[in-house]
A and B are shown apart, each in its own frame.
Chain A
Amino acid sequence: MKQLESQYEKILSDYMFDQSEKNLYIAQNFTRQLIQKNISPEDVVNIHKNAVGKIFPDRVGEDQPAYDFLIEVMVHYGMAHREHQSLLQIQAEYEMEMKIATNIQKTLLKTVVPQLSSIDIGMISIPFRKMNGDYVHFLHDREDYLSVAVTDVVGKGVPAALCMSMVKYGLETLEYAYKDPSYVLEVINRVIEKGVDDSMFVSMFYGCLDIQNSIFSYASAGHEPALHYSAKQGKFFSLEAKGLLLGVLSESKYSYNEIFLEDKDIVVMMTDGVTEFRSREDLNSREIITSLIVENKHVSAQQLCNILYKQIEKILDFKLSDDFTVVIIKN
């Protein structure tokens, strides 16, 4: 402190005798030091007061009470300043924890896309913030069936990720029941309804492909409808299905639906982050998505996912406002 005081006195007296920009610049650089050393505002006023007292000894009587008054005022600024610093530190700790949580989520909720010889599968899931509120789960224990659950938690961040872990656990315990989409949704709905607090809801589209018979059965819990592209007809069909969001009512029922997939048909499942163009509500997102699919129907399912993401990101001027997830199955 003593050293800072004498430095300050020197800088101030230089300025009193030559009011140049250079001397002000020196003062400014000195301020950096003060802040770095955590000198609080009231101490700075005191340093100033003492320096003025030394430079103008004859004026001490007049000025000093005014400085004492200012010190009193600055004590409160000092408190606010220190609180601010401690909050910054707390924030850094939170960010650290958040980073760890994000990594845990990445490991825990890692989606493994099955590689099949007969069917081409692609997937992309890009979180809007650090934590992904979307989750995709594939089940392919038996050669003849492929199931996929595309989910979106209403809510973001850590609570959403925790809820998602439960969904994953629920799906993993289904074992051989996974073939009936409406039954799957009923079970997962009960898990969420019991286990998660009332403000947490999950939408899910569950599809199951009977590979040998090319029958795609599906059910939906308040989820964005999937799209079915019929190669033969060159037309899209919306795979709508009735059902409440998971976690709302314990006894919700979900309708069972099925379609027949012909050669080169495409099924596109997605979350509302893909279809809701919040920044560009003037655009018709479904039209854009369907025409992107038609234009690129010959590329692999994974490439098609990537193209959808890149193109939509571009159309929205890189201002996506939600987690973005697409799963594509090409027969």
Chain B
Amino acid sequence: MTFKSSVEIITEWDIVAARQLGRDEAKALGFGIVDQARITTAISELARNIYLYARVGVIEVEKVETDVEKKIVVIATDQGPGIKDVRQVIEDGYSTSGGLGAGLPGVNRLMDSMVIQSVVGEGTTIRAEKRLR
């Protein structure tokens, strides 16, 4: 069973709405308080990137429940400028906040997996998943 909901990111306050959505869904799926905070932080980073670099976009949160696994899937989509060097942005120490461990490498670690698809001039889609253990 998959349940999907989304928040459009237009103003900075929409980041808060996306966080709220992520936290509610993570909680409903059975994630503990620490993982709820991790998932929310990951969503926050992705939403903030949309707000900063693409101006507008969408955060989707999917709850996936099958016989074998339960997981939460976060998808951040925008039609912004795109990321030129995807390999580079997931390297530690690259984000402009340098050394704070935040940004995309942080998302990668907070979640179980992260896949970035980006075309310069067309936009970016980032999909991050976390399984319930």
Contact = CB atoms under 8 A, between A and B. Distances in A.
Interface of A: 42-43, 46, 49, 68, 71-72, 75-76, 78-84, 86-87, 90
B105 interface: yes
Given A79-B102, A80-B99, A71 B37 contact: yes
B110 A83 contact: no
Contacts of B40: 72
Nearest to B103: A79
B90 to A, nearest CB: 11
A79 B101 CA distance: 5
Which 8 residue pairs across A and B have the least CB separation, nearest first? A83-B101, A79-B101, A80-B101, A79-B106, A46-B34, A75-B37, A75-B41, A72-B37
28 contacts: A42-B34, A42-B37, A42-B38, A43-B34, A46-B32, A49-B33, A68-B33, A68-B37, A71-B33, A72-B41, A75-B34, A75-B41, A78-B101, A79-B41, A79-B100, A79-B102, A79-B109, A79-B110, A80-B100, A80-B101, A80-B102, A81-B101, A82-B101, A83-B92, A83-B100, A83-B105, A83-B109, A90-B92
B93 A75 contact: no
Contacts of A78: 101
Contacts of A84: 101
A83 B109 CA distance: 9
Contacts of A76: 41, 100-102
A71 B110 contact: no
Interface in B103-127: 105-106, 109-110
A87 B34 contact: no
Interface string B27-57: 0000011100110110000000000000000
Q: Which of A46, A72, A84 has the most CB of B within 10 A?
A: A72
Contacts of B99: 80, 83
A78 B99 CA distance: 12
Nearest to A50: B33
Nearest to A67: B33
Given A76-B100, A80-B100, A83-B105, 16 more contacts: A42-B37, A43-B34, A46-B33, A46-B34, A49-B33, A72-B37, A75-B37, A76-B101, A79-B41, A79-B102, A80-B101, A81-B101, A83-B93, A84-B101, A86-B92, A90-B92
Interface residues on B, range: 10 to 19
Nearest to A43: B34
Contacts of B109: 79, 82-83
A84 B100 CA distance: 9
Contacts of A87: 92-93
B46 to A, nearest CB: 14
B112 to A, nearest CB: 14
A85 B41 CA distance: 20
Contacts of A79: 41, 100-102, 106, 109-110
A83 B40 CA distance: 19
A30 to B, nearest CB: 19
Contacts of B32: 46
A224 B112 CA distance: 59
A65 to B, nearest CB: 11
A76 B105 CA distance: 12
A151 B100 CA distance: 43
A76 B99 CA distance: 11
Contacts of A72: 37, 40-41
Given A46-B32, A46-B33, A83 B106 contact: yes
Nearest to A68: B33
Contact of A71 (B34, B92, B105, B106): B34
Q: Which of B33, B37, B92, B110 has the most CB of A within 10 A?
A: B37
A43 to B, nearest CB: 6
B111 to A, nearest CB: 12
Interface in B63-101: 92-93, 99-101
Nearest to A90: B92
Contacts of B33: 46, 49, 68, 71
Contacts of B34: 42-43, 46, 71, 75
A75 B100 contact: no
Contacts of A46: 32-34
